[in-house]
Chain A
Amino acid sequence: MKCYKCGSLLTDENMCLKCGADVTSYKTVVKASNAYYNLGLAKAQIRDLSGAIESLRTSLTINKNNIKARNLLGLVYCEMGDVVEALSEWVLSKNYKQEKNIANSYITSIQSNQGKFETVIQTIKKYNQSLKYAKGGNYDMAVIQLKKVITLNPKFIRAQQLLALLNIKDKDYGKAKKCLNNILKIDRNNTVAQRYLREIGIIEDITAKDISESFLPRRKIKDLNSMPLRGNDILLPPTSYKEPSNGAITVINILVGVLVGAALVWFLIMPARYKGLTSDYNKSIVEYSEKLSSGNVELNTITKQLQDVQAERDSLTKKVTDISGTDGNNKLLIALIDSANSYIANDKTKAAELLGSISDVSLLPSDIAKTLYNTIDATRPAAANELYNLGTTSYYKNNFTEAADYFARTYKLDSTKVDAANFAALSYAKLEQVDNAKKYYQYIVTNFPTSKYISDANTYISKH
């Protein structure tokens, strides 16, 4: 026994020799806990598992550090099929005492047999599902599930109890008794099983009494020939008289016998057989329905997964198209190549104009492409000036269509050229293309509010 304060070993003295704590009450409590542990152990040894649980729980309520009691409680839970409760107790035990604790080997034993552990966990889930079915009035489904549970884990007491109760409800006392006897083989003093068995016994006694009262009591018929003769007895001589033997009557009697037999078969045996067949058929339908519903759930899950995968594929395909299609990087490269061709052909104005379709140089996929862009882009001011001069020439020759085109292209190449915008507006005004003229005047108003053309621009916009 260790001191509750400092953890050092205690002697027969009522105080700790190390820290001086008074351990009189503590020793009494620990002894009481051990006494309950001993009681629990004795009960477990004679397979009174319910009683053992009660004693061990009391022992732990007194002293939660009673490792032996906790380990034994886990073992009893495990024996009754409550594996998760058992594991919980062993984990707690391991937490209280990490070394030289048999709980470690119990936990290792369960962890090393994952397949069986998974099966037991599934049976617990199915039992809980069955309980839901039973509480919801779906007794057939509950019975089917419980039968599976008991096949996989026959020591699962709770499942055996629930199946017994459902069998009692169905008045199938034979099956109920089988379940209850199974329980009592595992847990000898299981109070629920004993109570159910007693109730079944009472019901069967009442039924037997009803049956016996529905018929006349059998009386032993005394053999008159063996009785002694009395004074009033009349002696009749033996006679040789026989019933007339008629062939037709015999045949009729046989036929009537056959008919009665057929009727018995038809009215008594066949319905029972049909009932049995129908019952089997219904059970099969329930089982197939269950399989079908689980199959449908799986199918829906797979369909959903397929839809998700297809959506993901479409999204990725779109991304790839955006990146590498003619609207993505390829479009930029095509524009750059066209521009480079014009540049090589010494048509620098066209080269600069073609470069205009590349909105942002950083979108180009390689450094070489960016360098080429910058080389061609350096010709942009010269190209703008050339177009501006051509526009001016056309304008003063009163060729406003050409002039408008040149000035518009100039402004596109160099958006700082307010003169180009003004001439473009004037050219379009001459051509009476009001919308285009207004567009360029609007550029002046928006982008060059301090330019000398601002009053003309405002006037034109307000008049048109």
Chain B
Amino acid sequence: MINFDDEIKKFQPSLEVEEAEDAIYNNDFPDVTDIINKIINNLSDK
């Protein structure tokens, strides 16, 4: 059975235009390529 109170908690607000700038700036997280590059660089330094 659907529990309304539990379900409504899962809904999140949609991103608004004013928040887009923050979303873009906060997107700069390392990907797997970055991690591998870092590992290779560390190995070559040693």
A377-395 CB mask vs B (1 if < 8 Å, else 0) is 0000000000000000000
The answer to whether A29 touches B32 (Cβ under 8 A) is yes
Complex formed: what's the CA distance from A87 to B4 in Å?
32
Q: Report the minimal beta-carbon distance from B39 to chain A, rounded to whole angstroms.
A: 8
A125 near B11 with CB under 8 A, answer no
* Residues A88 and B32 in contact, CB atoms below 8 Å apart: no
Instruction: Specify the main secondary structure of chain A where it touches its partner.
Output: helix
Q: Which residue of B lies closest to A77 (CB)?
A: B15
Q: Are B11 and A131 in contact (CB under 8 A)?
A: yes
Report Cα–Cα, A168/B31, bound state, in Å.
41
Pick the residue among B13, B16, B27 that contacts A131 (CB under 8 A).
B13
A84-138 residues with Cβ-Cβ distance < 8 A to B are 84-85, 87-88, 91-92, 121, 124-125, 127-128, 131, 134-135
A30 at the interface (CB under 8 A from B): yes
- Whether A26 touches B8, Cβ cut-off 8 Å, given contacts A60-B31, A84-B14, is no
Chain B residues whose CB sits within 8 angstroms of the CB of A26 once the complex forms: 33, 36-37
- Among residues of B, the one whose C-beta sits closest to the C-beta of A22 is B40
Query: Given that A92-B27, A165-B4 are known contacts, is A63 also in contact with B14, CB under 8 Å in the complex?
Result: no
Asked if residues B37 and A127 are in contact (CB atoms below 8 Å), the reply is: no
Q: Quick one: given A61-B32, A64-B31, A169-B4, are A121 and B14 in contact (CB under 8 Å)? A: no
Report how far A37 CA is from B4 CA in the complex, Å: 36
Is A350's CB within 8 Å of the partner chain B?
Answer: no
Q: How many of chain B's residues touch chain A, expressed as a range? A: 20 to 34
Q: Given that A22-B40, A85-B15, A88-B20 are contacting pairs, would A196 and B2 also be in contact in the complex, using a CB cutoff of 8 Å?
A: yes
B33 is contacted by which of A29, A85, A127, A162 (Cβ under 8 Å)? A29
Contact A124 B16 (CB under 8 A): yes
Q: Are A91 and B24 in contact (CB under 8 A)?
A: yes
Please list 25 pairs of residues, one from A and one from B, whose beta carbons are closer than 8 Å in the complex, sorted by A's number.
Answer: A4-B33, A22-B40, A29-B33, A32-B32, A61-B31, A61-B32, A63-B31, A63-B33, A64-B31, A64-B34, A84-B16, A84-B23, A88-B20, A88-B23, A92-B24, A124-B15, A124-B16, A125-B16, A128-B14, A165-B4, A165-B7, A165-B8, A168-B4, A199-B1, A203-B1
